[in-house]
Structure 1
Amino acid sequence: MGNGSTLRDLFEVIKAKINRRIGEGILEGRLFLYISVNDVGVNTLNYVLRDGDRVTITTPEMGG
């Protein structure tokens, strides 16, 4: 991934190379996951990534 790539670009790569269903689910808004970059929650796929960023994808936890 090049300089200026976004989370959307990352999920396009995931869709193409790792898991189509997960990539499509996130890109189309059907799969709800908690996404953080460098341990800070991100709520837009337009977030611009920098070299060395660590992206974490987890399922949201619900309390009760």
Structure 2
Amino acid sequence: MAEESNNWGGRREGAGRKKTGHGKYYGFNSTPEVERILESVGRGKTAFINEAVEFYARHKGLL
């Protein structure tokens, strides 16, 4: 019997989530208005929130 190659499982090049710069995790309770905004964004809420906070911080002179 020929030896079979096990080609499943284990680490694979390019597999899994891509690494991004991770900051601290923040959980918060939104207002109903913010909830509607975030639900309308669909996917990518984290990127949207990060961009919004950075925009606001620049506007307020914090950056």
Quickly name the TM-score band, shorter chain normalised. Answer: under 0.3
Q: Which structure carries more strand by proportion?
A: 1
Q: Which structure carries more helix by proportion?
A: 2
Higher relative contact order (CA 8 A, sep 6+): 1
Structure of higher CA gyration radius: 2
TM-score (norm 2): 0.23
